[in-house]
Each structure stands twice: as structure tokens, then as C-alpha cells.
Structure 1
Amino acid sequence: MTQPPVRSALLALACCVGLAAPAAAHPHVFVSARAEILYAPDGAVRALKHIWSFDEAYSAYITQGLDKNGDGKLTPDELAELAKVNVESLPDVGFFTTAKANGKAQEFGQPADAGLVFENKILTLTYTLPLKTPAHANRSFGIEIGDPSYFVAFDIVDAPDAVITRDAPKGCIVRVARPPKLDPAVQQKLAQEDITATPDTSGLQVTTRALVACP
């Protein structure tokens, strides 16, 4: 069976460190996420900054064998190749992100400033995702973060800084709309899927939306 793009990208990360992919329930990776919407001095949206923290089990799995000097710590240098593979895989899955300026879909450029940090058993990826063309969103700028196939479960953190703006025009307000909790019966059905299956998530809202409204 041909692997869907989301699955292929994450399996590529496993191959990078010489591991076989784990057979796990669906979803297979859990991410606690934050996002920053970055503005240029002229008031245009120029980029997004993603901060994604992987669950403890996946963090341990994907970093096996990367402690090259055996000191029990993972440095940014030891994680550099894994960060590179992460970012190179993301265009295949649309960066798990969509963006619209005044209702018009935006294209992304090449990601930059990618880095991984391993702290308190959690692996965190940070990178900047520029818009291909800076967007003058004089009415609204919206983003949607998540994996519609639910192979990766994104949880936008429940905190005031979950989605914020940087250098936005005065008076802009961010509103975050999280998906509703899945029905227990649906969760049980998804948990029965193995790594070779793609569950039917049509009709389910599993992504988080954020809208910046400016005066």
C-alpha cells in the first residue's frame, strides 16, 4: 500500500536515524504547538514561526543513537541533521499549515532558522515559514494548523501565547478556535487503526484555526 504524504514524511525521519517505524495506534505522533505570526515594518505579514514539541515517546524513539559523544545529552549540533530532515519533509505535507490573507490562500517560501532542542525528555522543533509574498492583510489574516488525516495529532497549547503576533499593527486581535474533543466512540475507532491504515476523518474537525483581525 502506498503511504500517504503525511505518513511518508514522518517515516523518513525514522529512516534518518536507522530505525524501523513503530506499529502504534492512530494517531502515531502527538504535537503540542505554538505559533507566531510575524509582521514586517510596513504592516504586511511576512512569515510564521512554528514551535512544535513532540510527545515523550516519539521524542525518545526518534532521537535514539544521536548522542554521538555519549554524555547523556543531546546538543543542537547532534540534532542538526534530524532538524534538516524534518524541514525537508515538511513541504510534502504542506507544513501542516494553511494561511489566508483577506480570504485569499497564501503560498509559502523556503523554511529557515530550523533547530531542534531536547529538554526534559521532549524534542522541540522551531522554524520560520515565510510567505512567498508578504501579505497586506488589512482586514484579516488566518491560519489553520494540523493534520487533516490525523496521523499527527496537533494540540495547540491552551495558553495566552498559543498563537501570537509579532510587530503587528496597533489594535490587531488574535482569536483561536480549537477543534472539539473527539467523541469517545470515534477515539476508540481511530485507536484500532494500525500504521498501514488511513482512517476516514471526513466530517471531523481536527485542526486549529487562528484569525488575526485588524482595525
Structure 2
Amino acid sequence: MTGRAFLTALPAATLLAACLAGPAQAHPHVWVKAKAEILFAPDGTVKAIRQHWSFDEAYSAYITQGLDKNGDGKLTPDELADLAKVNMDSLPEVEFFTIAKVNGRKQEFGTPTDAGLVFENKILTLNYTLPLKHPPPKSRSFGIEVGDPTYFVAFEIVDEPDAVVTRDAPAGCIVRVNRPPKLADDVAQKLAQEDITATPDMSGYEVTTRALVACP
């Protein structure tokens, strides 16, 4: 699976133009600033992840062209509903760009809910809730990884206090976020020279952000 699968539900011409509109016209093709909320059930079980993904300005502008149906210069959630569905229908193919682990054991995801797009300040943001399919009993650790290993879509969990937060967590739980190191200048330059349709070998590089929720 590659990040390209996230975008191929769109018409090929639209995909290509969106990529060309992106920064540097290079690999990666879409930039995403991400936030996550870890949602707990009353019994202390992690039940879901609430994702918030904000796309880069160039991609946001291109992918929303022609969606202002009433011509009022604003994009409402209703006008963005079809685009949100396209995104959500394609995300299972790439496992939601997310890995969740409880006590080190990888978890399966259920059917996402509460999905929608918001367009504000020239930025398109996808919000949705990703439930665990079989939430295990209360555990001491819950970890997530967010990213596209092929680097077709470049995810960055924002460096802000609310980048990864818990909701209704047991008392004493703490969150630690571990971001990947910045790619060296020579590596970034090499990627910028890649053919726009290419998917380079990223096996030697760390491009995903990890967060761990530890509870007493």
C-alpha cells in the first residue's frame, strides 16, 4: 500500500494537477499537519482516535475548485461532503496512515464516524473518529504512529501543546510525542529531484511520528 492510494480515488487529471500545484512540484506530493485526540471509555479503555488533518494551502486550493455550489465565496461542510466521502472511502486501503498499539500489540480499526471537511483560512481540514475494532481491557500503554512510509503524503504532527491529547483518560496518564528527525539537506534535495510520479525507497528513513500514552 502507498500514500498514492489515498489520492487515486480522485480523477487522474485532478490528482496530477493537485500534485503539480504542491510545493516544489516534488515528492512528497501532499503535506498534512496532524493532530490527534485519544478517546477513553469510562472504564479506562481506549475506544478511538479523533484525527484532525490539515492539508497544505496549495493542495487545499486545488482540490476544492468548483465546490462552491452557491457561489457565495465560502465552502460549507455540506458542499464538501462528497469530497470527504472520497477521502474516507480510500483511507482503509492505506490503513488510515495510522498504527495503534496497546501494550505493544497492533490493533484493528472499526468503521470511522463523524467524518467531515472544513475549509478555513485557505486550509482544508479532514476530521474523523477512528474507533478500535476490539478495544482491549484497560492497559498501561497506548501508542500511535501517524505517517505514510512511502512519503507520498508527508505527515507532520504539529509541534504544539494540543498536538496529541487525551479525552476522559484515567488520572495520571501522560502523553509523550516522538517526532522523526528532519531529513538531511542532501536527502531533501534528492527527493525534490524525483520524478513526480515516482515513489522513492524510504526504507532507510524515519518519516512517522509516534505518540505514547502511559497510564498508572
Question: TM-score interval w.r.t. the shorter chain?
Answer: over 0.9
Structure 1 Cα separation of the partners of residues 62 and 4 of structure 2? 16
Q: TM-score, normalised by structure 1?
A: 0.94
Structure 2 Cα separation of the partners of residues 90 and 20 of structure 1? 16
Please name the residue that 1:197 is paired with.
198
Aligned residue for 1:30, secondary structure, equals: strand
State yes or no: 1:172 paired with 2:173: yes
Letter in 2 for 1:19: T
State yes or no: 1:10 paired with 2:7: yes
Q: How big is the shift at 1:137?
A: 4.4
Please name the residue that 2:42 is paired with.
41
Structure 1 Cα separation of the partners of residues 113 and 95 of structure 2? 15
Is 2:2–2:150's contact at 8 Å kept on the other side of the alignment? Answer: no
Is 1:48–1:128's contact at 8 Å kept on the other side of the alignment? Answer: yes
Please name the residue that 1:81 is paired with.
82
Is 1:11–1:21's contact at 8 Å kept on the other side of the alignment? Answer: no
Please give the residue correspondences for 1:181-196 in structure 2 after superposition, counting only pairs within 5 Å: 181-196=182-197
Structure 1 Cα separation of the partners of residues 172 and 139 of structure 2? 12
Aligned residue for 1:87, secondary structure, equals: helix
Letter in 1 for 2:61: A
Q: Are residues 177 and 20 of structure 1, via their aligned partners in 2, closer, same or farther at CA, if it must alter by over 3 Å? A: closer
Please give the residue correspondences for 1:1-215 in structure 2 after superposition, counting only pairs within 5 Å: 5-13=2-10, 15=11, 19-22=14-17, 23=20, 24-215=25-216
- Higher mean alpha-carbon deviation, 93-102 vs 4-13, is at 4-13
Aligned residue for 2:131, secondary structure, equals: strand
Q: How big is the shift at 1:194?
A: 2.2
Q: How big is the shift at 1:70?
A: 1.1
The alignment covers a number of residue pairs equal to: 210
Q: Structure 1 unaligned runs (5+)?
A: none
Structure 2 Cα separation of the partners of residues 149 and 157 of structure 1? 20
Quote the RMSD (CA, aligned, Å): 1.4
Is 1:101–1:136's contact at 8 Å kept on the other side of the alignment? Answer: no
Taking only the aligned residue pairs, the percentage that are identical comes to 73
Aligned residue for 1:196, secondary structure, equals: coil
Letter in 1 for 2:37: E
Q: Structure 2 unaligned runs (5+)?
A: none
Letter in 1 for 2:8: L
Aligned residue for 1:160, secondary structure, equals: coil
Letter in 2 for 1:48: I
Letter in 1 for 2:165: I
Aligned residue for 2:70, secondary structure, equals: coil
Structure 2 Cα separation of the partners of residues 77 and 201 of structure 1? 38
Is 1:173–1:214's contact at 8 Å kept on the other side of the alignment? Answer: yes
Q: TM-score, normalised by structure 2?
A: 0.94
Letter in 1 for 2:4: R
Letter in 2 for 1:117: V
1:160-213 Cα distance to aligned partner (Å, 9 max, x none): 100011001110000000000000000001111123211111110000000011
Is 2:5–2:94's contact at 8 Å kept on the other side of the alignment? Answer: no
